[in-house]
A and B are shown apart, each in its own frame.
Chain A
Amino acid sequence: MFGRKRQASDFSAEIEAHIQHESERLREQGLSEEEARAAARRSFGNVMQAEERFYESGRWLWWDRLGQDLCFGLRILARNPGFTVTVVLTLALSIGANTAIFSMVNALLLKSLPYSHPERMGTIYTRVTGPAGSDERHHLNGEQWELLRDNVPALISAVSGIRASGVNLEAGSQVQYVHAGRISAHYLDVLAIHPIIGRNFSDAEDRPHGPKTAILNYGLWRNAFGANPEIMGQTVLLKGEPHTVIGVLPEGAIIPLDADLYTALQPSRQGEGTGTNFEDITRLRDGATWEEADAEINRAWSLRTQRYELENNPGAGVTYYSVPLQKGETAGLRPQVLTLMLAAGFILLIACANLAGLTLVRVLRRTPEIATRLALGASGWQIQKQLWIENLLLALVGGIAGVAVGFAALRGLLLLLPEHFLPVADVSLDGRVLAFTLLVSLLTSALFGMLPALTTREFDLRSSIASRHSTGGDRLRLRQALITTEVALTVVLLAASGLFVRTLIHLQTLPPGFNPTGVMTARASLDNVRYHDAPAFRKLLNESTSAMRQIPGVQQAAVGVSLPYERSLITGGIAIGDGKEAGQKVMADEVYTTPDYFAALQIPVLAGRSFTEADGPDTQRVAIVNEMFVRKFFHGANAVGRYLDKDTMIVGVVENVAMAPGIDPVAPLTIEETMYVPAAQMEARQLSLLHVWYQPSWIVRTSGPVEGLTAQMQRALASADPNLPFSGFYSMRDLLAKTLATQRVEVALLSAMTALALLLSAVGIFALIANIVTQKTHEIGIRLALGSTIRQAMIHIGAPGVRASALGLILGLILCAEALRAMHSVLYGIGVYDAPTLASVILILGLVTLLATILPTLRIARIDPAKTLREE
């Protein structure tokens, strides 16, 4: 297909015909046969050259040449295995890092959500101007939801609960702790997901007090019900109440609110609807535009009676607008992912600087070869082409290796992430990622190939053929500049990951305020009609904790609705009952506990007393507050004996414990003002609402490891209620790890990339010095012969490396001053300009530089001055 249609023999035949014609003409003019033929040939010129030109114009030749160049390139690369392996490894690691991180970017930010017409799906952002301005996705309250549902015809809207909660599913004789999500009637319609059997929730089922129904996800249907289609229309007990199964979701369906099964949300303005407890998703109806939808939303929500956005922010302007659902779902991860992508980009640049240095040296070393080829008639373009082909070969081999490394890195990365950490089902190396990798490989080869290619353009044939030695010393400055650049980038990465590490250390070593060792916890769902009744609830807690106390080795057993390191319920409108702060309304975490809670977790009681069995439903209502609560609301004065909400007396003050933030999300772990109340004084009304969202934990402290502790705890719970399963067992260390998952992942990824950057920089410096040593062997020999010590020679040779690195360090620190400020929002407990971090950066870089400089200069000791002189 690529071949020309005409054979070379045909061309020769034509030339032969020409010569015959010409000689015939000349013969007619009177020349002899022989003379005529000679003259014809003479006037034709070089037949061979014409034939060659014919051949060269053919397309085959182009392929031939490329094939030759490729073969030659491969041979050259194979003959320098050290160089080739270094380059391919560098490329594999840097391209691999980029591939892995880009596949996250791709999955989270670029790929469309796995729904039909994802561009028509959205969620609503609230933009508040004024002193306490913000621009983010808000949760909705019941009033907002009703207005959105009824007055915004441009959208199909739906809401869900904010997170799935643990509930007990009883089917036949089986009880199981499952995660249940609550979604409104058209939620699955917005997602365009249709159950494989059955149907979605109807409007009637979504009304308050409507019929109780459930939709199972595919996994639960298969595991708990053996994929039995007969389940449709049957009744299961959920939270102790009968629910009719009306549908099963398709396998692999991705629901933003991830859960095992779904019930109708039944949202209203009452109950949870008084607060912002719903999360919205929308789909544009056919024919409508987002502008229309936004106008309708703003009109509808301006009618609201309760404008919570304006509280504490007088005179603020509030507007609402739709954003793509993808943006709404990934907003939280976007900065982290982009930071990582930036870091990966740095790695690539560092790698390029290194490779540019390496290839530059190699081209300079090949001066004799190139000179010979030029002398034999190769054109400058042919030499350039050869160099570029070698670079491309390297980049492609590196790219392929990079995809393999990226694939492995991605698997490792996903293992590192907690389950359901990412709001997407799958992070894969798809076509887009591979295209990206190919592009990156080509870009890399262009970047690192440019310098050497440019240097060969000003190649002086005469001087290079004349000199035996390869020239190249004059390129030292260029190579130093490359080292400086990569060191500067490395410094920024080093500082950034140093700050992350320090943040994680800060959070992990935060005084917990309790003793986490020797504590085992387990959660159970009390979102159950059986426990909407306060006496039944009290009986359960009493019987189960005393049964657990019987387990040999158990010192204390207690129950609390939330644990340290976890989020807890936030209660607003707590009124200070007396004193000069009387009437002030405050907001605090509220935790109900059994009397042993503080003893079991060893939270020190700082003043007053702990709860006792005597604090019952019919006695004085009491509360214990933490030190933060006292400091914030009583300004550090003695709080014991003071009143909250008129009738609740503070009987004790306890030490602060580290919590996941609820009130003010400033850090993954924080100290919040907390109010503890006795579980025995909780009212049925509070319990039923609280248990929709929170599953209380049973806490057991043991003196040492106890054989089969978890099984015995389950048995103890079963002795109080045989139909109450635990969700799973967690040590306090597990909970801490879960809370700090994001930070751990950040630290792991950024540290890995920083280590890579550091390694690359070290290799760069090492290569530079090693090369100088080789080039200057002769000079060093003379220096030694003239009386220089080995140390002096080492310093002389190593100095350019150290100087370049030092300059890079200074440049990097200047860059840090700007770059690190952007990290401000993800650092906790340390400043952006953290002295220990910066000191370690300088120290680590100094050490690496010294090592990378000294190792290659050790060869100087083996240089024999006598031999050098003999050569001279």
Chain B
Amino acid sequence: MSTQETRERLELLQGTLDMLILRTLIFGSQHGQGIARAIQQTSDEELLVEHGALYPALQRLEERGWVSAKWGTSSNNRRARFYSLTAAGRRQLVMETIKWKRLAAAIGRILDPAKEG
């Protein structure tokens, strides 16, 4: 517990939160806190998701029509707003993912040229 608190986490790069949210939702609908947990866990606790930033981001995605939301009941019987991916969101995710992979590969080549055959 305490190690978790002191370990320095990576802050999210500008603009990547949207992509990560969309990616998380690919497995089915989820509420905000669930999304935050999922991102944190899937990244082996490397990424820090500031919860306060998450909701405005979700709001933005909803306004763009990439996710849809409705109130429901969570597994522990609490009310929560559940987000799910729309078709447009799915397309957006594919695009973002491709873009991100190209970017990451390019940066990787620069930082570690030896790896390139």
Q: Which A positions have Cβ atoms within 8 angstroms of B?
A: 4, 6, 11, 13-15, 17-18, 20-22, 24-25, 29-30, 43-47, 49-50, 53-54, 57
Give, as a whole number of angstroms, the nearest-CB distance from B23 to chain A: 20
Q: Would you list which residues of chain B between 45 and 93 have a CB under 8 Å from chain A?
A: 50-53, 55-56, 59-60, 63, 74, 76, 78-81
Give, as a whole number of angstroms, the nearest-CB distance from A9 to chain B: 13
Q: Would you list which residues of chain B between 19 and 67 have a CB under 8 Å from chain A?
A: 31-34, 37, 50-53, 55-56, 59-60, 63
Contact of A17 among B53, B56, B78 (CB under 8 A): B78
Contact of A57 among B31, B63, B76, B80 (CB under 8 A): B63
Determine whether the beta carbon of B52 is less than 8 Å from that of A21.
no
Give, as a whole number of angstroms, the nearest-CB distance from A58 to chain B: 9
Question: Looking at chain B's contact residues, is the secondary structure mostly helix, strand, loop, or mixed?
Answer: helix
Residues of A within 8 A of B31 (CB): 17-18, 21
13 CB-based A-B contacts, threshold 8 Å: A14-B55, A17-B33, A18-B80, A21-B76, A24-B76, A25-B37, A43-B51, A45-B53, A47-B52, A50-B56, A54-B56, A57-B56, A57-B63
Determine whether the beta carbon of A57 is less than 8 Å from that of B60.
yes
Residues of B within 8 A of A4 (CB): 63
Give, as a whole number of angstroms, the nearest-CB distance from A263 to chain B: 73
Determine whether the beta carbon of B55 is less than 8 Å from that of A21.
no
- Interface size bucket, B side? 20 to 34
Q: Known interface pairs A17-B78, A17-B81, A21-B74. Does A50 touch B63 (Cβ–Cβ under 8 Å)?
A: no
Give, as a whole number of angstroms, the nearest-CB distance from B52 to chain A: 3
> Does B1 have its Cβ within 8 Å of any Cβ on chain A?
yes
Q: Known interface pairs A14-B32, A25-B37. Does A50 touch B1 (Cβ–Cβ under 8 Å)?
A: no
Determine whether the beta carbon of A20 is less than 8 Å from that of B78.
yes
Residues of B within 8 A of A53 (CB): 56
Determine whether the beta carbon of B1 is less than 8 Å from that of A29.
yes
Interface string of B79-117 (1 = CB under 8 A from A): 111000000000000000000000000000000000000
Give, as a whole number of angstroms, the nearest-CB distance from B77 to chain A: 11
Closest A-B pairs by Cβ, 5 of them: A45-B52, A21-B33, A44-B51, A53-B56, A50-B52
State in angstroms the CA–CA spacing of A18 and B50 once bound together: 13
Residues of A within 8 A of B81 (CB): 14, 17
Residues of B within 8 A of A21 (CB): 31, 33-34, 74, 76, 78, 80
Residues of A within 8 A of B37 (CB): 25
Give, as a whole number of angstroms, the nearest-CB distance from A489 to chain B: 50
Question: Looking at chain A's contact residues, is the secondary structure mostly helix, strand, loop, or mixed?
Answer: helix
Determine whether the beta carbon of A44 is less than 8 Å from that of B52.
yes
Give, as a whole number of angstroms, the nearest-CB distance from A42 to chain B: 10
Residues of B within 8 A of A46 (CB): 52
Closest to A52 in B: B56
State in angstroms the CA–CA spacing of A22 and B34 once bound together: 9
Residues of A within 8 A of B50 (CB): 45
State in angstroms the CA–CA spacing of A53 and B58 once bound together: 12
Determine whether the beta carbon of B74 is less than 8 Å from that of A15.
no
Residues of A within 8 A of B59 (CB): 6, 11, 54, 57
State in angstroms the CA–CA spacing of A29 and B4 once bound together: 13
Give, as a whole number of angstroms, the nearest-CB distance from B76 to chain A: 6
Give, as a whole number of angstroms, the nearest-CB distance from B90 to chain A: 22
**Besides A17-B33, A21-B31, 20 new A-B residue pairs in contact (Cβ under 8 A), listed by A number:** A17-B31, A17-B32, A18-B31, A18-B32, A18-B33, A18-B51, A18-B55, A21-B33, A22-B33, A25-B33, A25-B37, A43-B51, A45-B50, A45-B52, A47-B52, A50-B52, A53-B56, A54-B56, A57-B56, A57-B63
Give, as a whole number of angstroms, the nearest-CB distance from B72 to chain A: 11
Closest to B1 in A: A29
State in angstroms the CA–CA spacing of A43 and B56 once bound together: 16
Residues of B within 8 A of A17 (CB): 31-33, 78-81
Residues of A within 8 A of B56 (CB): 50, 53-54, 57
Residues of B within 8 A of A44 (CB): 51-52
Residues of B within 8 A of A57 (CB): 56, 59-60, 63
Residues of B within 8 A of A45 (CB): 50-53
State in angstroms the CA–CA spacing of A44 and B50 once bound together: 6
Determine whether the beta carbon of A11 is less than 8 Å from that of B55.
yes
